[in-house]
Structure 1
Amino acid sequence: MSSKKALIVDDSTVTRLMIRKIITDNSGSWDIHEASSADQAVSLLPNLPSLDVVTLDQNMPGEISGLDLAARLQEKYPAAKIALITANIQNAIKDKASALGIQFIEKPISAEKLQTLFAGT
């Protein structure tokens, strides 16, 4: 049985480590990839034929925002569960996440906030 695949995209090393720990502590064996920007994540995509779960920050260094990346990911990985995990809680950001059909999770991150993202995976 192949392991599930996750991509964590956040410019905060601490946040990436926390999400990784939550995944490994609560969801079994996962193949976890990390990127510190949406631009870096785009460069990883050719080597990731499938993804089950993606977590994205909104505001990161580089040319691409988390929401911009989410739209690209939905095209390449239509079955992946995607969540925008951000401290940017503006209604416009929430509305765009909702329009894309991705989960919106406010920072600070916790295992409880990620439960629905990993339910059924």
Structure 2
Amino acid sequence: MKIVILLVEDEPIIRMGVADHLESIGYKVVEAGNGGQAIRILSERRDVHVLVTDIHMPGEINGIDLALWTRDNLPSTKIMVMSGAQSDAPRLRPLGDEGYIYSKPISNASLTKRIRELVEK
């Protein structure tokens, strides 16, 4: 079974680069450009194993809201949050261990390591 990752990033170039890397190491990647689009995908697909989301995105649903929605509605989906601003950390406390923010830019090696850790939990 192939692990499915929903990658949510509003910057197309960043999203494409991360998606290419994740696909090159064997994951299936579904992409979304904002939180609203991600919730629609998560509502329709029940095969997403890992949510990788940026925090700051356009639209009404930011990455924190998306992460909390996912935790409440799809508790088996693992969550990884990325941001360029560490000031977002206190807002992620409700996510517990999965609320750790990874600073952007994140190296491919660090991204790969964290996703493997999440999948193995």
Note the alpha carbon deviations across 1:28-64, whole angstroms, 9 max, x for none: 2x33111110011112122211321111111111001
* Runs of 4+ deviating beyond 3 Å: none
> Cα RMSD (Å) of the superposition?
1.7
Quote the residue 2:84 is aligned against: 87
Unaligned 5+ segments in structure 1 are none
TM-score relative to the length of structure 2: 0.84
Question: Does 2:103 correspond to 1:106?
Answer: yes
CA distance in 1, matches of 2:17, 2:73: 26
TM-score relative to the length of structure 1: 0.84
User: In 2, are the aligned partners of 1:50 and 1:77 still within 8 Å (CA)?
Assistant: no
Residue identity matched to 1:16: R
Question: Does 2:18 correspond to 1:19?
Answer: yes
Number of paired residues? 116
Determine helix, strand or coil for the equivalent of 1:119.
Answer: helix
Quote the residue 1:116 is aligned against: 114
Q: Offset of 1:80 from its aligned partner?
A: 1.9
Which one has a larger percent helix, Structure 1 or Structure 2?
2
User: In 1, are the aligned partners of 2:78 and 2:118 still within 8 Å (CA)?
Assistant: no
